[in-house]
Amino acid sequence: METGHVVRFASQKHPFLVEAAPCLDLDCPCSIVTLKLIEVLPPGSPLHELMTCTMRVCLKTWIEHDPPPRSLEAESLVREFLARFPDKRIRELAKEFEQARAAQRRLESFSLSGPRDELVTYSNVIDQRGGVREKVWQHAFFFAFEGREFLVEDHYCANPDCDCRLVHLEFWERVHKFRPERHVIIEQRLMASFTLAGELKDTRFSEESASTTKHLLRAWMHRCCNHFQECQRRYDLIQAIGRRSFPPQPKRRIDPVPKENASPDRRPAESPRSVRRNDRCPCGSGLKFKRCCGRRAAMVD
């Protein structure tokens, strides 16, 4: 069995991706994480229903909690996984569990103090250390394009009075330097706005050529469209923070127009003599003059 987020089993041809979801109920004292194994098909493989398996495991004892009914094949996978998963990776999962709990506590107490129209970076909300600019990369999306590596950081509008439903994605390139010593630098390349459904709205700025920008964003929309579901979740979180951070703005009062200044729907003709009896009445009623304002003028006379 390999270490990391992808594992292999002796009884299975294809590897499995491991997804971990910790319990985020801060009132719950458990250390249970939900692990999901998802079969990974290599490119070009015939399509078939992917094999999946879910288990709830206590990180302190590494024992499954309340196992559900499973097929013999799935039960065999779970037993092999629990028996052979590396201790180092278990410790990493426990650390990730504590980080997720800390992030949840921060989300429940975080408030904004800047202008309500200012974009909010999800990394800065979820992690007190900051985001990509501060070399904290855990909360950014990873994206590879034509041999280049990008970290994509997401920004949102927190204004509770705004219903833009946009995510603003900032692309930072990871550039590997080998002289005078090996290190990695982060360069800001472009920023673009998308709807939460994945539709490109506009490019806010770009250090790339127009052609490269177009192909890069098109590749992102095609290969990373599944990330927009996570962006939807993050947008809702930022909006909830905005609602508790900013007081509701009073609705603008619209004063009624004084009667003397109000324009009537229909106004009588200035002079009956300027309009012939069978002409359309100039008040705009659509009737002949003799059957509208002309009749009233005759009655007055």
Mean pLDDT, rounded, for 108-112: 88
Is residue 290 a part of any domain in this protein? yes
Residue 116 inside a domain? The answer is no
Strand partners, 193: 168, 202
Q: Are residues 230 and 129 in the same domain?
A: yes
Tell me what percent of the residues of the chain surpass a pLDDT of 70.
87
pLDDT > 90: what percent of the chain? 49
Q: Which of 191-200, 225-234, 279-288 has the lowest mean pLDDT?
A: 279-288
| 257 lies in some domain | no
Whether residue 94 is found in the same domain as residue 178: no
130 by DSSP, 3-state: which?
coil
Tens of pLDDT, residue by residue over 228-262, are 999 999 999 999 999 999 987 776 666 666 656 55
Cβ pair 281, 275 in contact under 8 A: yes
The pLDDT value recorded for residue 261 is 57
Going along the chain, which residue ranges are E strands?
Answer: 6-7, 16-22, 32-39, 52-58, 63-64, 119-121, 141-145, 148-157, 166-177, 183-195, 200-206
- Assess if residue 185 is contained within a domain: yes
Residues 127 and 234 in one domain: yes
Q: Quote the CA–CA distance of 300 and 216 in Å, as a whole number.
A: 77
**What pLDDT does 257 receive?**
60
Range among 134-138, 267-271, 294-298 rated most confident: 134-138
pLDDT number for residue 3:
37
Residue 53 has pLDDT above 60, yes or no: yes
Same domain for 280 and 178: no
Residue 42 pLDDT class (50, 70, 90 cuts): confident
Average pLDDT over residues 68-85: 92
Q: Which of 11, 33, 14, 13 is nearest to 22 (CA)?
A: 33
User: What pLDDT was estimated at residue 12?
Assistant: 87
Residue matched to tokens 């106004």: 267
Please list, in sequence order, all residues whose beta carbon lies within 8 angstroms of the beta carbon of residue 57, skipping any fewer than 6 positions away: 32, 33, 35, 63, 64, 65, 82
The answer, yes or no, to whether the previous bond of 160 is cis (omega within 30 of 0) is: no
> What tokens were used for 31?
């250390």
- Has residue 34 been placed in a domain? yes
In the predicted structure, residue 269 carries a pLDDT above the cut 50: no
Evaluate whether residue 131 is within a structural domain. Answer: yes
End-to-end CA distance of the chain: 106
Helices (H), 55-162: 72-84, 87-109, 122-126
Instruction: Spell out the residues 6+ positions from residue 267 whose beta carbon is closer than 8 angstroms to its own.
Output: 283, 284
In angstroms, the CA 85 to CA 194 distance is 39
For residues 148 and 220, state if they share a domain: yes
For residue 112, how far is the Cα from the chain centroid? 18
Phi and psi of 5, rounded to 5°?
-85, -5
- CA–CA separation, 48 vs 115, rounded Å? 51
**CA–CA gap between residue 228 and residue 222 (Å, rounded):** 12
Same domain flag for 146 and 238: yes
What is the average per-residue pLDDT within 50-54?
89
Q: Average pLDDT over the chain, rounded to whole?
A: 85
Which range marks the domain in which residue 298 is found? 266-301
My answer on whether 240 and 271 are in the same domain is no
Output DSSP code: residue 301.
Answer: -
pTM of the model: 0.62
Indicate whether 13 and 103 sit together in one domain. yes
Contact between 154 and 165 (Cβ < 8 Å): no
Domain boundary pick from 67, 86, 109: 109
Tally of residues, the chain = 301
Choice between 254 and 296, residue whose per-residue pLDDT is larger = 254
Residues 140 and 195 in one domain: yes
The last residue of one of the domains, among 51, 83, 109, is 109
Sole residue written with tokens 């890069």: 216
Report the relative pairing of strands 200-206 and 183-195 from DSSP bridges.
antiparallel
Query: Does some domain include residue 261?
Result: no
260 within some domain:
no
- Of 85, 109, 133, the one marking the end of a domain is 109
Whole-number Å distance between alpha carbons of 261 and 254: 15
In order of 229, 231, 257, the CA distances from 120 in angstroms are 18, 13, 41
Q: Which of 78-92, 99-113, 218-232, 282-296 has the lowest mean pLDDT?
A: 282-296
Same domain, 270 and 205: no
Q: How many domains does the chain have?
A: 3
Same domain, 151 and 236: yes
Same domain, 139 and 230: yes
